[in-house]
Structure 1
Amino acid sequence: MTTYKLLIVEDERWEREGLLDFLDWASLGIEIVGAARDGIDGWERALELEPDLIITDIRMPGMDGLEMAKKIKEAMPETVIVVLTGFSDFEYARRALQTQVNQYVLKPIEEEELQRAVTEAVEECARVRRRRRDEEELRAAALEHRALAIAKLAADAMEGRLPKERAPELRKAAGFASASGAFAAIAFAGVPGLAEDDVRRAVGAPCLALPDAGGAVEHAWTVVLAADDAAARAVADGLAARLAKPGGFVRPEDAVVAVGGAADGLTEAWKSVRAARSALEYAVFWGLSGVTLPEAVEREKAAFYAEANEFLAKVGAYAKQVVYGVSALDEKKTVDAASGLFDAISSQRGAEREYVRNYLTGLYFELSMLAGDPEASEGEAAARFDRLSTLRQFRAHGLAAAKSMIAFLANKREGKDDYIVSKVNRLIETSYMSTDLSLTAAAAEVFLSPNYLGALYKKATGRTFHERLTECRMDKAKELLGRSEYKVSRVAKEVGIPNTSYFCTVFKNAVGMTPGEYQELAHR
C-alpha cells in the first residue's frame, strides 16, 4: 500500500495530541512524520520533512496557518494542505481558497467530516504522485530519445553520412567550439563493459565517442575530437598512458591506440575515423602497443608490397609442406611447416590482417577437402578466422587446426569416428554449464562443419548432440537438486540454462516431474 507523509500543525497541545489518534491514519495510507506547534515551526518542519500532506489550524501565534500554507505552496507547490477553521473564520476560509488550500474542515471537528477531507486529500496526493511519475517518465524518455538521436548523428559523422545542416547540432551536443576546422579520430582497444563516460574521462577532451561493434577488434572504441594532427597525437599519448597506468583499463602491453590524420570539418571526420580504425586493426593484429600512426602503417605496407612476390613464394613453400604433412599423417612435419609459415608471415609486418586471413582461409579449405569433409566451403573456412583479431590467435588456431586435421584424417582412414565422438563427449562433460555450448561451438573445436558433425554424431551414437547435452545437463541438475542449499534458479544457471522457466520445462520433459517436485522427493 502506498504511504503518504503527514505533518500536523496545531498550536493547542491537547488538540495537536488529539489529532495524532483521531483517525486510523495507517488504514488511510498515511504515516505521521511530525507535529509542529505553530506556523513558524510548521514551515521549518515542512522544509525538513517534505510531507505529502499537511493538516493545519488557521489561528496560531507568530505565523498563522494561511501565511504558512502560502510559503509552503511557493516552495513545494504539490504539497496537499487541509486547514481547520471555526465558523467565525469565514474571511480566513475565503483566503484559504485563494492560497490554494486543498481542503478545509470546520471546528469543532467531526470524525466523519475529517475522514472525508483526508480521503479526498489522499486522492489528490495520489494524483500528484502519478503526475510526477508521468512527468519523470516523459523527461526520461525525452532524454533517452535525445541521446539516441545524438548517437545516431555521431555514427553518421563517423560513417560519412552526416548532413551539413545537422553538423551544428552535433557540434553543440559534443561541446565543440565549431563544426569547421580540423577534426581527428582516435581508435583504441578497450575492455568489456567500458561505458561512454569512462571513455570521455580517459580522453580528457570534448569528443564524440562510439563503440566499434562491427570491427575486427573486440571492445574497440572510436572518438572524434576537434584537433589537428599534433594535438590529436598529444591526446592519444595521454590516452595510452591513462589506459595502461595502475588501475587503468588494460595492461600496459595491451594499451593499443591509433590516430587518424586530421580532416577538414566535422562532416569530413569520417576520413580520419576510417584511417584510425584501420591503423588500430593493424596494430592489434601485429601485437603492437602504444600509439600507432597511419603513416607508419603505410610505410610498412609499401615495404611489404615491394617484396610481395618473395613473400608469397616463401609462405607458399611452407603451405605445401603443411599439406604434405597432413596427408602423410606426420604431426611433427606438419607443425614444423606451419610454424615456419607463421614465422614467415611475422617477418613481414606490412601484410594486412585481411590479406593473411584470406591466405590462411584458402589453406584451411584445401586441408578440409583433403580430409574429405563434405560440408567444407570457403565461407565456412573464412568464418573460423573472422572472429580472430591477432596474428597470435591466427597462429594458435592454425596449429590446432592442422593437428586436428591429422587426427581426423587418420581416424577416417581407419574407418572410425570414435575419436571425434569421444572428443565431443568430453567437451559436453566439461563445458555443459556454458550457455555458449552448441553444435556450432563443438564443430569449431573439432574443425568440422556443424552439419557434418551433427550427422556423424547421430550415426555413431544414435542420438543428436543436443539430446546428449540435455541428458548431461539434466543428470547434473538432479545431482544439484539433491542439495538443500540449491534453489531451482541457481541449478538452472549452473547447468547452462539461465532461463528458469525454460529449464523447468526441459527438466519435466526429461525426468517426468518438475525440479521442485524432484527436490522435494529427494529431501524426504
Structure 2
Amino acid sequence: MLKVLIIEDEAGIRNSIANAFSWEEMGCELFGAAGSGLQALELCLNTPPDLVISDIVMPGIDGLTFLKYIREKYPFTQFIILTGHRNFDYAKDALNLGAAFFMLKPINFIELENSIRKLIEKIMQERENKKIETQQEHILRSLLNGRIYHNTSLLPQVKNLLNQIAYYRVCVLKFDDEIENDPFRLQNLMVFCENLTARENLLMVKTDNAHLVFILLLSQKDASFEDMKGYLIQLLHRIFEFFHVSVSAGVSEIRHGYDTLHEAYIQGLRALGQKFFTGSGCVHMFHKTGSLPAVTDYNQLLGFCQDILTWLGSGNPDSLSRFTDRLFSELLASFGSDASLLKSSFLILFTLCIQRTIGEDARQMSILLERYSNFQKVIHCENIEILKELMLNLIMDLADYHIVKSGTKQMIVQKITDFIDQNYQENISLNDAARVVYLSPSYLSTLITNETGKNFTEILNEVRVKNAIELLKDPSRKISEIAYAVGFHEPQYFSIIFKKLTDLTPRDYRKMYLN
C-alpha cells in the first residue's frame, strides 16, 4: 500500500480531502493528516510518505519548505501542491523543487483524483522498473563474477535482456582517486555515469565502490574498437571535467553470449592492470600474450639479489641511481608482463636481500619491515614509478646498514650528525636516530657520548641554536617564529637553551648584532 500524507492548516479542507476518496481501493493508506509543516515533519521522521498533498501557505514551516526538505531526504516522494493564490511564482517554485502537480483552490476533486491516480501509476511503474533493474544488476554481477543462476526465477524482462547479449565487449572502469571514502560524491558520480551512458546498447553494473563495468552490446562481431575507445576517452574526460577524478579503463576482446561474461570481465581487469605501467587516466585494450610463468623464476631472483650484495660491497654509493636503473630494467624485462607478477617478484627479491644482508639480526629486520609497512607499500603500489622508487629506497637502506656495520664508530657518529643537520627542524629523538643506523637507542647514546663528549640532545640543541643565530639576524622575524622554525615547540624553552649555549638571550643577541 502506498502511504499518503495530507498537509493543510484549514481543518475543513483537510478533512474534505481525507474523506473524499476510497484510499484502499486506489491501493493507498492515509497514514497522516497534518495541520502544519512541523507536524508533518514529525510524522515523516521514521516513515517516508509515497505521496504528499500539501498546501503552500501555512504558519511556521510552509509547503515549499517542507517540499524541499522531503525531496532531499526522500527523492522518490511525489507531491501535489495546493494553493489559493493565483501567483505563477508559487507554481514555478513548486515545480522547480520537484512537485508533480500544482492545483488552485477551491479544489476540483475530480481533477485531484485524476492527479492522484496518475502519480500512483507512476510510483508503481518506478517500483517495477527498480525491481527489474535490481535483479538485472544482480544477475549481471553474478555472471561477471562467475556465479551460476537459476533461469526459472528471472523476471521476463531480465530473461529478454540476457537473450539480447550476443556480441559484446566488457569495459572495466577504475576510479584512480579514493572517491569511495566520500559516499555522497561517489553517489553523484554513479548517477552522472548512468546519465552519460543511457544508451540502449550499453549496460552498467557497479561491482564495488572503486569499479564500474560497462557491457557494450555490438551489432556485429567485427565492430571497431576505435569507436568504443573514442567514446570511453570522451567519458573519462567528462568525469574528470566535472568531478576532478581520474578514471582508467580496461576493455575485453569481443565475446559472444552471456555465459562468457566472466571471461570477458577477467580480460577487462587484466587490461586495466596495464595502467600500472602506463599511468592513470587511459583506455587499455586486452591483448593475448604468451602464457605467464606459473611461478616466479627463483634462481633469476637469486642472481638479482647477488648483484645487489656485490654492489653493496663495492663501496661506491655514488653509482646508486645508475645501478638501480639497470637492475630495475632487468627485473622489468624478466617479470614485467603482468603487474601482479612484477610485484610478487619484487617482494621475493626484497625478502632475499634483507635476509642476506641482515641475517639473524631480528631487531634490524623488524625496523626495515616497519619502514616498508610489512610490504603493504609494494602490494598497494599503483604504478611502476612508485615501485622503482621503493626499490631505490630499499637499496639505499641496505647500503646504509652495510656502511654502519662495516664502518668505524666515527662513521656512525658522522651519519647521526648528518641526520640532525637534515632534520633539526622536526621533532626528532634519539629513537629516530637509532633507526637510521640500525642500533639500539641505549647503545647509540653511549657511543655518541664516548666519541663526542656530548649526548644526542646536546648536539641537537647546538645545531638548532646555530641555525637560530642566522635567523635572528633578520629583524623582521619574531623570536617565537624562529623558535618553531628550528625545532623548538616552546619559545620559553628555546630562550633557556639559547642563553645556556651563548650566555645571551635571543633578544639580547639580536640587539648586539644589530648594534
Structure 1 and Structure 2 fold alike (TM over 0.5): no
| TM-score, length of structure 1 as denominator length | 0.43
